[in-house]
Structure 1
Amino acid sequence: MKKNKFKNRNKISISLLIPIYNEADAVPKLLKKVENNNIYKEVLIIDNNSSDNSFNKVYEYVKKNKNFRLISQKIKGKTNAILKGIKNLNKCDYVAMIDGDNTYDVDEISKLMTYLKDYDVVNGDRISNLNYLKSLSNNYFHYYGNSFITKFYNLMFSDNLKDIFTGLRIFKYDLIKKFFFFRSGFSLETEINCILKLNRIYVKEVPINFKERSGKSKSKLNPIKDGLLIMFCILTNFISYFPFKFFSILGAIFFATSIYFFYFPFKEYLMFNYVYKIPSLIVSVSLFVISLLAFFSGIILENIKKIHFSIIRL
């Protein structure tokens, strides 16, 4: 577990990242609360090429608050928006992220900050609070889909997180500046967790309140399409970050299958001193060769990954 040396809470500086996409109805309510909570060194709002009036509504707040900044990211995808925000951040001690749909209570950030004395990363956990289920009373598919994908992620990465898709997080500044993402879109949360797991950084989850979207604010998530895409991203992230583990498992499956097909011609040879099931023998040998190729591919890709991440850390 990585811990950090915590400064006096009144002396630490924290910046807030808010990615938005077509949240003209919700983001003013969120920014009003942020405006009344004077704990941020900087509030950076990233408009992800919204087609509604979000940009103009945010700009009204930026004009009134010297610590508010608004930037635009034309390339769509939450990951692209966050990456641009990170790139444009001024130096601080910690960085908080919150979705711009006003479903998270900004005051919860203060609760998360109390854990920064022991952890470099603190996540808000919606799942442990029954309010999350109540807020999705009209769409249980989101809740159970979230639960299923979280379990799938935990299985793949041997983790024990409760809410991998939370939109409220706090990171140590020096840590988040080192992040390097391979993918975009809704896979951001998944890849953040993968990076932290790879670097053996423990994530503290703190139960938070979650409320239903209000007004005209609508979720941009397609439960089926994006759910399948996220699961695919989890699998590809697993291959990217743990290639030896993946190809070793794959190789073991091919090897076991080759043994199964080899059994019948081998049994024939012992009984009749001749092999009649030639196709089974060919399949067995082919699968055995594939299992060796998978195993050695895993070794090669694991070393390439280590070199790649060493370069990134430089």
Structure 2
Amino acid sequence: MRPLRSHPPYLLYGIVVAAFGLAAYLVGVLLFVPRYLLPWHAQLDRLAEWLVWYSGVPLVLGLALCLLDLLYLLRHRKPDHPIREEALPPSRVTVALTAYDDEDSIAESVRDFLSHPAVARVIVVSNNSKDATYPLAAEAGAITFDELQPGYGRCVHRCLSEAAAWADADLIILCEGDRTFRAYDIDKLIAYARHGDIVNGTRIVEPLRQYRTQLSTFMYYGNLFVAKLLEAKHLGRATLTDVGTTYKLCHRAALHRLLPAVDPAINLEFNAHLLDTALALNMVVVECPVTFHQRVGISKGGNVNDWRGFTVGLRMIRGILTDWRWAA
């Protein structure tokens, strides 16, 4: 196998620099509008002209960085190995569900996953819920844990850690207990498991997305944009369309390598951090389209509203650009 050369993610930097130049150009154009309304438009005219003129510098620089990575460096970065086709022995799976004040949905979610023939057990980690999530999950048949430290990242880390402790299940499925995802998609995730270490469920396929969900149009395309930034960072290693999905399959052996490397203190942007870290460890990440439904109950994560989604997206971008320094 040809060894991979290490190069900075020029495509990622190029996209960010070009986006900055485009934003500067648009601001410059918009500044010409107030010239008819304000008495001091001369100063605005000079600023607008400067922005429009010099916005070409980051645009050209960003384009050059993108072309460098795509046309020259890609052949040095793309792994030169056959498609992974790992024979999987018959195995049942462990499902781990995150939950926070999900008393309206957790019991039905647990029963749904337990009804699937491939599921050996369902684990529910309640992130210090204040309602009846914990007892209702246990009553429905789940193995329950209470993670007292707040934060989505800590809840996911606890979920995966508890699931990886069961040696009889080599495949672990992470999901959440709000009914946005369904157990029948487990078959698809398992089918893709022979091709990679992590199978990331993607909500980007429109016919599989319910008409009304908490994922607004703004968050839908914003999530796709951030996913492509992460793909650009690991050019040639993965195709990514969804960094915010909470439905994924992991090989147990891969989790033993991955969990010590991630930072559970990272909150709502933890899924992007998990994928970024896995790719940095040279794990194979593949995507699988899954169905996405309207959640039961009130959203409490990054999908509360577009502004919340925007701020989470910005923190994801900062983490991707800085290798998650100062992200927690």
Q: TM-score range by the shorter chain?
A: 0.5 to 0.7
Question: Aligned residue for 1:20?
Answer: 99
Aligned match of 1:289: none
Identity %: 17
Aligned to 1:256: none
- Which position in structure 2 is the counterpart of 1:209? 291
Q: Which structure 1 residue ranges, 4+ long, deviate > 6 Å from structure 2?
A: none
1:213-228 equivalences in 2 (<5 Å): 213-214=295-296, 216-221=297-302, 222=304, 223-228=306-311
2:269 is aligned to 187
> Greater CA deviation, 187-196 or 147-156?
147-156
The whole-number CA distance in structure 1 between the counterparts of 2:123 and 2:157 is 12
Counterparts of 1:250-289 in structure 2 under 5 Å? none
Give the whole-Å Cα distance in 2 for the aligned partners of 1:69 and 1:135. Answer: 31
The yes-or-no answer on 1:200 pairing with 2:282 is yes
What SS does the corresponding residue of 2:201 show, helix, strand or coil?
Answer: strand
Which structure: larger Rg?
A: 1
1:110-153 per-position Cα deviation (integer Å, ceiling 9, x unaligned):
11101222222212111023342723388323223323332333
Supply the distance in 2 between the matched residues of 1:207 and 1:229 (Cα, whole angstroms). Answer: 23
2:220 alignment counterpart: 143
Deviations 1:96-118 (A, max 9, x none): 11121101111101111012222
Correspondence for 2:140 among 61, 77, 84: 61
Partner of 2:204: 127
CA RMSD after TM alignment: 2.5
More deviation in 28-37 or 71-80? Answer: 28-37
Deviations 1:271-314 (A, max 9, x none): xxxxxxxxxxxxxxxxxxxxxxxxxxxxxxxxxxxxxxxxxxxx
Report if aligned partners of 1:136, 1:142 keep a CA contact under 8 Å in 2: no
Give the direction of change, closer, same or farther, for the CA distance of 1:219–1:137 in structure 2 (3 Å limit).
Answer: closer
Give the SS at the match of 1:134: coil
Residue 209 of structure 1 and its aligned partner are, at CA, apart by 1.2
Count matched residues.
234
Q: 1:82-161 to 2 correspondence within 5 Å?
A: 82-88=156-162, 89-91=165-167, 92-132=169-209, 134-136=211-213, 139-158=216-235, 160-161=239-240
CA distance in 1, matches of 2:215, 2:86: 44
Secondary structure of 2:257's match? coil
Distance, in Å, in 2 between the alignment partners of 1:138 and 1:194 is: 22
Is the 8 Å Cα contact of residues 213 and 295 (structure 2) preserved in structure 1? no
Query: Which whole-Å CA distance do the structure 2 matches of 1:219 and 1:129 have between them?
Result: 24
Taking structure 1 as reference, are residues 225 and 7 closer, same or farther at Cα in structure 2, changes over 3 Å only? Answer: closer
Cα distance, 1:41 vs structure 2: 2.6
Give the secondary-structure state (helix, strand or coil) at the position aligned to 2:128: coil
**Amino acid in structure 2 at the alignment position of 1:29:** E
Task: Tell me which of 108, 129, 154 is aligned to 1:29.
Answer: 108
CA distance in 1, matches of 2:177, 2:221: 23
Provide the C-alpha distance between the structure 1 equivalents of 2:311 and 2:94, rounded to a whole number of angstroms.
Answer: 33
Structure 1 unmatched runs, 5+: 63-67, 244-314
**Equivalent residue letter for 1:203:** V
Query: How many angstroms does 1:235 deviate by?
Result: 2.3
Question: Any unmatched runs of 5+ in structure 2?
Answer: 1-78
TM-score normalised according to structure 1 size: 0.67
